[in-house]
Amino acid sequence: MTTFFQTSHRHAGCGDLLAYIERDARDDLRNHRGEPLTDEQRAAMLAHSERHEFTRDFILSPENGERLSDRELSLRTRQTMREFLADRPNTVYAYGIHRDTEHPHVHVAIAGSQNSLYMDLDDIRETRARADEHFVERGREHTLRRDVARPRPERTDRAPEQHQHQEQHQQHQAMTHNMDTSDPDRGADALEASLLRAERQQQAEQTTEYTRAQEQEQGRESEHDRGRGV
């Protein structure tokens, strides 16, 4: 299995793209935290895209999408986007989950400068590989754990000692899987908590980088003014 990945860009604001995503989405548009996109956030994203006159969009459609819940699709989208935007400062995105076709997919709108959102063929291949890792590989592991944890029919011709040993083994297996991620909700909760920690750290690093860049720019302007005798 693989993940269908498609990207395109336009030299324009993201208003029309957000309207399209929202029209066919199962729920509200979501921000980078997986929360409903507020009117204020939408307005800020639109202004950001219009200021840079650049918008990029992604379509992420895993082959196993029908086996992933909306929450799982949302979490794995955020994982993929967090990694994609890690070294692309001053960018913002929103997304919606579409189940209006044979294959469920996630449509993402990204606003930022053309330089920050530039993608060559290597970038596209790398992003597709990341999507495969998060949507398909981990989705397959999740499914396998649920299948293993599911009770199996018992044979009645097994000797009592065998039956007791098998029962103990199954109890141990179930306990082990419960401690891991066989419970979809528990696994999703752990993933969401991990994502929130990573997103807070990434936001703090980007804020520090932005502040440093602003200070450097102000320093250059001051030197320029001093040179002119201002």
Tell me: do 13 and 48 sit in the same domain: yes
- Tens-place pLDDT, residues 153-195: 443 444 444 444 454 444 444 433 443 444 445 555 655 665 6
Residue 230 corresponds to which tokens in the numbers above? Answer: 């201002």
Residue 149 covered by a domain:
no
CATH number (domain holding residue 74)? 3.30.930.30
- Tens-place pLDDT, residues 198-210: 665 655 655 555 4
Tell me: do 22 and 100 sit in the same domain: yes
Residue 152 covered by a domain:
no
Tell me: do 96 and 204 sit in the same domain: no
Tell me: do 119 and 18 sit in the same domain: yes
- Tens-place pLDDT, residues 3-26: 899 999 999 999 999 999 999 888
The pLDDT of 94-112, averaged and rounded, is 94
The pLDDT of 78-92, averaged and rounded, is 94
pLDDT given at position 2: 86
Q: For residue 218, how many C-alpha atoms fall within 13 Å in the half-sphere facing its CB?
A: 6
Q: What average pLDDT does the structure give for the chain?
A: 77
Domain containing residue 107: 3-142
